[in-house]
């Protein structure tokens, strides 16, 4: 993988760095969450093109629709997932969850992508023995539930607008914040971090490994087409890890870039050629 650096400066009256930015499939558009709205920027002109605003509470995540790359999905603390046409800035429809959504991520799959949502642990009955556990979860107050993506995006006017949480078939129990979690491009691995360690979990084998590093990690992003992951640490270094898939294999790590402040977030473009960070 060859890394490139690109600078896009965003301006506004609310915090635009607390939620991970994302890109369109062709890399021409960047989506930045800002409070209850999403700002759509052109990566060519660096200008603000659209403001997607309809949520009643803070947006916690945004990503492309896995079934239509010209649509954007947003999740919010108002308990709704909204679908947008970001090219013309229009709202398409909303899906009601009824509980605050603190984060969501898409796990790629050979047959069907799955969407994972972070909700309060007490919102639904989940046996603690079910699913995959990452880190110490004794004090964790949230759980990740997995739903088939067609439950979310393949809905018509005849379908009730509310999603039943009982339809969840997969669970992830995380000791750390799920915003510090991503999936490998093939959906086989959950990637996270804890302190000075990269944490890798094989979903099919339910096998977890930790790889130590010299400084406290604060950001993580999986490459969209290669088995590598980027992390950012408190010293301002951005590191890329390879070779962490084997049971005994030790990863190879390289430093791509560093700057004077701690890395707050990382994001690959959909083609994997550009790695942006804040």
The pLDDT-based confidence of 55 (bands split at 50, 70, 90) is: very high
- Across 263-268, average pLDDT: 86
The percentage of the chain sitting over the pLDDT mark of 90, rounded to a whole number, equals 32
Residue scoring higher pLDDT (54 or 14): 54
| Domain limits, CATH 2.130.10.10, in the chain | 16-179
| For the ranges 25-34, 107-116, 147-156, 197-206, the one whose mean pLDDT is highest | 25-34
The pLDDT-based confidence of 53 (bands split at 50, 70, 90) is: very high
- Across 161-186, average pLDDT: 68
The pLDDT-based confidence of 179 (bands split at 50, 70, 90) is: low
- Across 22-37, average pLDDT: 91
Least confident of 46-55, 132-141, 173-182, 211-220: 132-141
- Across 157-182, average pLDDT: 63
**CATH class of the domain whose range is 16-179:** mainly beta
- Across 47-70, average pLDDT: 92
Main-chain phi, psi angles of 92, to 5 degrees:
-105, -60
First vs last Cα of the chain: how many Å apart?
Answer: 21
Least confident of 41-55, 206-220, 256-270: 256-270
Contacts of 160 (CB under 8 A, 6+ apart): none
Least confident of 37-46, 155-164, 239-248: 155-164
Return the pLDDT at 88.
Answer: 95
Angstrom distance (rounded) from CA 97 to CA 124: 12
CA dihedral 64, 187, 142, 154 (to 10 degrees): 40
- Across 60-68, average pLDDT: 88
pLDDT at 248 over 80: no
Residue scoring higher pLDDT (69 or 204): 69
Least confident of 91-95, 203-207, 210-214: 203-207
pLDDT at 134 over 90: no
Return the pLDDT at 271.
Answer: 84
Strand-pairing partners, residue 40, are 31, 50
- Rounded to the nearest integer, the mean pLDDT of the chain is 79
The CB-based long-range contact list for 257-264 (8 Å cut-off, 24+ gap) reads: 257/3, 257/5, 260/236, 261/236, 262/218, 262/232, 262/233, 262/234, 262/235, 262/236, 263/218, 263/219, 263/232, 263/233, 263/236, 263/237, 263/238, 264/17, 264/218, 264/219, 264/232
pLDDT at 92 over 50: yes
pLDDT at 27 over 90: no
The percentage of the chain sitting over the pLDDT mark of 70, rounded to a whole number, equals 74
């Amino acid at each position: 993988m060859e890394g490139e650096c690109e600078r896009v400066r965003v301006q506004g009256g609310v915090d635009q760095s607390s939620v991970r930015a994302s890109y369109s499939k062709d890399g021409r558009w960047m989506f930045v969450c800002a409070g209850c709205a999403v700002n759509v920027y052109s990566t060519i002109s660096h200008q603000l093109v659209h403001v997607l605003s309809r949520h009643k509470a803070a947006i916690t995540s945004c990503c492309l629709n896995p079934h239509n790359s010209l649509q954007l999905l947003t999740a919010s603390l108002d308990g709704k997932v909204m679908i947008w046409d970001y090219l013309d800035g229009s709202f398409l429809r909303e899906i009601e969850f009824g509980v605050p959504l603190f984060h969501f991520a898409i796990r790629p799959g050979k047959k069907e992508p799955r969407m994972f949502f972070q909700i309060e642990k007490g919102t639904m009955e989940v046996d603690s023995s079910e699913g995959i556990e990452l880190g110490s979860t004794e004090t964790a107050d949230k759980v990740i539930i997995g739903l088939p993506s067609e439950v979310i995006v393949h809905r018509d006017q005849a379908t009730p607008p509310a999603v039943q949480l009982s339809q969840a078939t997969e669970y992830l129990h995380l000791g750390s914040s799920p915003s510090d979690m991503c999936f490998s491009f093939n959906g086989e691995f959950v990637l996270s971090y804890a302190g000075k360690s990269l944490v890798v979990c094989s979903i099919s084998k339910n096998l977890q490994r930790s790889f130590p590093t010299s400084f406290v990690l604060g950001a993580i992003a999986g490459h969209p087409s290669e088995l590598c992951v980027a992390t950012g640490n408190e010293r301002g270094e951005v590191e890329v890890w390879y070779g962490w898939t084997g049971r005994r294999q030790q990863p190879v790590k390289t430093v791509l870039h560093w700057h004077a402040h701690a890395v707050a977030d990382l994001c690959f473009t959909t083609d994997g050629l550009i790695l942006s960070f804040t």
